[in-house]
Amino acid sequence: MMIETKGLKKSFDHTEVIKGIDAQVQQGQVIVIIGPSGGGKSTFLRMLNMLEQPTAGTVTFEGQNITDLPANKLDTVREKMGMVFQSFNLFPNMDVLANVALAPQRVKGSSQKAASEQAMTLLDQVGLADKAHAYPASLSGGQQQRVAIARALAMGPDVMLFDEPTSALDPEMVGEVLKVMQGLAKEGMTMVVVTHEMGFARKVADEVWFMDGGVLAEKGTPEQIFDHPQNERTQSFLAKVL
């Protein structure tokens, strides 16, 4: 078991937006979370690595309850959980290679040579070896997001969390990012992916979770969720997006 949540809840200003989620992610699994906007997907994802502190319940990561860890211990846990957001947030004043090589040097004490070599390998993996010395502003959105993925991978995470990684991209760039993610899944990376890309969910997910109104309303294989949804809210959501 890689991640387990029990009775996970979150309130903002007395409004409960996550209403008690019990969920498990096994090592090597790809979980895709779908559901309407405002349903709590981002809040749930951010609680998995304590970017958002739960109001109640627990998150266990690799056997350790991380819910109430002090900040210094949480940093170590977060190194094992790579996160990629809708916005790429690359450092604009550094070239692509330096962006990817920075954290391993700062956080893990890797030598510049070792970090740069590893960064080149990762850039090759995301198809951007030829852009190593380009600056972020000169790259397309899809290329920047692939650099952001390489940067997250540079810390050697055990799980990758993606929050709508293609939502800010022009349509013609969505495919190149999904392809990189599919490659990661194929190599056995554990992944939790919030996305509206139903084709990706169908093809790559081991399990699809439908979140609505702060609850995990339904989960199942892609076939179960897309072809035979049981929950009325899943059915009406899919009728709108498919």
Rule CB under 5 A: which residues touch Mg ion? Answer: 41-42
Which one, 41 or 146, has the nearer CB to Mg ion? 41
67-75: list long-range contacts, CB under 8 Å, 24+ apart: 74/50, 75/107
Amino acid residing at 157: P
Q: Is residue 166 close enough to count as binding ligand ADP by CB under 6 A?
A: no
Nearest residue (CB) to ligand ADP, 7 versus 38: 38
Q: How many CA atoms lie within 13 A of 47 on its CB side?
A: 30
Cβ nearer to ligand ADP, comparing 43 with 166: 43
Q: Which of 1, 22, 26, 38 binds ligand ADP (CB under 6 A)?
A: 38
Quick one: 8 or 119, whose CB is closer to ligand ADP? 8
CB of 37 to ligand ADP, least distance (A): 4
Segment contacting ligand ADP (CB under 6 A): 30-38, 106-114, 135-143, 228-236? 30-38
Q: Among residues 1, 7, 12, 183, which is the contact residue for ligand ADP, using CB under 6 A? A: 12
Using CB under 6 A as the binding rule, whether residue 41 contacts ligand ADP is answered as yes
Write the burial class of residue 112 (CB in 10 Å: 0-12 exposed, 13-18 middle, 19+ buried). exposed
Structure tokens at 30: 């790809």
Can residue 201 be called a binding residue for ligand ADP (CB under 6 A)? no
Q: How far is the CB of 240 from Mg ion (least distance, A)?
A: 17
Instruction: Show the DSSP H helices in the chain as ranges.
Output: 41-48, 71-79, 96-108, 112-125, 141-153, 171-186, 198-204, 222, 232-241
Q: Helix, strand, coil % (nearest 5) of the chain? A: 40, 25, 35
CB atoms within 10 A of CB 235: 13
Minimum Å gap between C-beta 31 and Mg ion is 15
Pick from 2, 8, 17, 90 the residue near ligand ADP by CB under 6 A. Answer: 17
Give the three-class secondary structure for 227: helix
Q: Is 82 in the site for ligand ADP (CB under 6 A)?
A: no
Amino acid at 114: A
Q: Which residues lie near ligand ADP (CB under 6 A)?
A: 12, 17, 35, 37-43
